[in-house]
Amino acid sequence: MEKFLKQGKRKAVGNLHSMPALRCIKFEDNTLHLLDQRILPTHTAWIAHSDHIQVAESIRNMTVRGAPAIGVAAAYGMALAALNQADWSQAKQTLAESRPTAVNLFWALDRLDALTDKSPESVLAEAQAIEAEDLSMNHKIGESGATLVPEEATVLTICNTGSLATAGHGTALGIIRTAHQQGKVKHVYSCETRPRQQGLRLTAFELLHDKIPFHSIADSAAASLMRAGKIDFVVAGADRITANGDTANKIGTYMLAVLAHHHNIPFVIAAPSSTLDPNLPTGDHIPIEERDSTELTHAESIQIAPDNCPVYNPAFDVTPGTLITAIVTEQGILTPPFNIK
């Protein structure tokens, strides 16, 4: 296995709010630029990557995160490998070892592996196609998914599934965006998303950017909001969806699905077809990533737990397909019983 090397150079840029549309991935001049999501929203910097090993490290350390964005970044990682004439199989393996749960990573790597022409031009063109297709799929997901959102809806979501998690627009957040543009969304409640707080840091940033009315909430506030009748619709993204509709997504998603079921609230999953894994029959087969204990024991760099506190930190959970009202992909709306092919 190739060793992860130090990351590329970090470069400060201007205020993201002044940009026309949020983006987290740019490929220019044979260099992959990734917006550093570990320091958003208080700091803005792009990290330049000139080889696939740096890209693998940025996926592992979550400079780039979100299933579709990971797939796009990995595709550009392979384009860099081709440009640098690195060993193809070794580069593919290095990228494949960066994170285990989001199937988009393996989907993108397999798609590039299937190219008969692996010249740098051809691999780069395919990576660009993967990025462009993701953006277009997200707009379609937004349009279909918005038809499920009730008028004047208060919507609950978790993690970050927007432009910062994809090539643009987003999946679950894409549905919220489109439904909001159609005047259907009255308010959003965005779960903080412990322990890495993608909701508080990134979704709040995107909702502010789009001027969508919202409150960030502690994850543990979701139940009482539902009980109070304040949630009309729950929508979440996915990292992997198996043949029977079981869905791996950010830890805490399953809890929301159980709560939504109890309170009779629609619970919808949004994902592009690159997130489907029909090869796995059920969610029991999905590898669930466990991350470092410091994500819980430390707030930024300050220790908040006792020394040697034992920690269990799974990054994802699996929501059974039986708790999901609908799965929205770019191909349309699937309803139970799911039989994904």
Of residues 41 through 80, those in contact with ligand MRU by CB under 6 A are 65-68
Quote the CA–CA distance of 292 and 314 in Å, as a whole number. Answer: 9
Instruction: Give least dist CB 12 to ligand MRU, A.
Output: 23
Q: Does 247 bind ligand MRU (CB under 6 A)?
A: no
Please give, one letter per residue, the 3-state secondary structure of 252-286: CHHHHHHHHHHCCCCEEEECCHHHEECCCCCHHHC
The window from 14-22, 157-165, 182-190, 321-329 that contacts ligand MRU (CB under 6 A) reads 157-165
Q: Does 165 bind ligand MRU (CB under 6 A)?
A: yes
Q: How many residues bind ligand MRU (CB under 6 A)?
A: 17
Return the number of the residue (53 or 137) whose C-beta is nearest ligand MRU: 137
Is 239 noted as a catalytic residue in this protein? yes
Helix (H, G, I), strand (E, B) or coil at 88: helix
Quote the CA–CA distance of 254 and 117 in Å, as a whole number. Answer: 42
Instruction: Give least dist CB 37 to ligand MRU, A.
Output: 8
Q: Does 200 bind ligand MRU (CB under 6 A)?
A: no
Instruction: Give least dist CB 271 to ligand MRU, A.
Output: 7
Q: Does 23 bind ligand MRU (CB under 6 A)?
A: no
Quote the CA–CA distance of 66 and 54 in Å, as a whole number. Answer: 18
Instruction: Beginning with the edge strand found earlier in the chain, give each strand of the sheet holding 214-217 in spatial order.
Output: 214-217, 185-191, 153-157, 233-236, 267-270, 326-329, 332-334
Is the CB of residue 233 less than 8 Å from the CB of residue 153? yes
Q: How far is CA 95 from CA 40, 91, 120, 122, in A?
A: 24, 6, 17, 19
Return the number of the residue (40 or 231) whose C-beta is nearest ligand MRU: 40
Is the CB of residue 171 less than 8 Å from the CB of residue 104? no
Q: Does 190 bind ligand MRU (CB under 6 A)?
A: no
Catalytic option among 239, 246, 277, 317: 239
Q: Does 169 bind ligand MRU (CB under 6 A)?
A: no
Q: Does 203 bind ligand MRU (CB under 6 A)?
A: no
Q: Does 100 bind ligand MRU (CB under 6 A)?
A: no
Instruction: Give least dist CB 295 to ligand MRU, A.
Output: 10
Q: Does 157 bind ligand MRU (CB under 6 A)?
A: no
Q: Does 327 bind ligand MRU (CB under 6 A)?
A: no
Q: Of 166, 190, 242, 319, which one interacts with ligand MRU (CB under 6 A)?
A: 166
Residue nearest ligand MRU, CB atom distance: 237
Instruction: Give least dist CB 62 to ligand MRU, A.
Output: 6
Q: Of 198, 242, 274, 329, which one interacts with ligand MRU (CB under 6 A)?
A: 198
Q: Of 102, 185, 318, 334, which one interacts with ligand MRU (CB under 6 A)?
A: 102
State residue 117 phi and psi, 5-degree precision.
-95, 105
Q: Does 140 bind ligand MRU (CB under 6 A)?
A: no
Number of residues that make up the chain = 341
Please, what sign has the CA dihedral across residues 290, 296, 302, 307? negative
Return the number of the residue (8 or 68) whose C-beta is nearest ligand MRU: 68
Q: Of 161, 178, 244, 329, which one interacts with ligand MRU (CB under 6 A)?
A: 161
Report the chain's C-alpha Rg in angstroms. Answer: 19
Query: Is 103 exposed, middle or buried (CB count within 10 Å of its CB: 0-12, 13-18, 19+)?
Result: buried
Strand spans (E) along the chain:
10-12, 25-28, 31-35, 45-49, 153-157, 185-191, 214-217, 233-236, 240-242, 247-250, 267-270, 276-277, 298-299, 302-303, 316-319, 326-329, 332-334
Catalytic residues: 239
Query: Residue numbers of the site for ligand MRU (CB under 6 A)?
Result: 65-68, 102, 159, 161, 165-166, 171, 198, 237-239, 249-250, 315
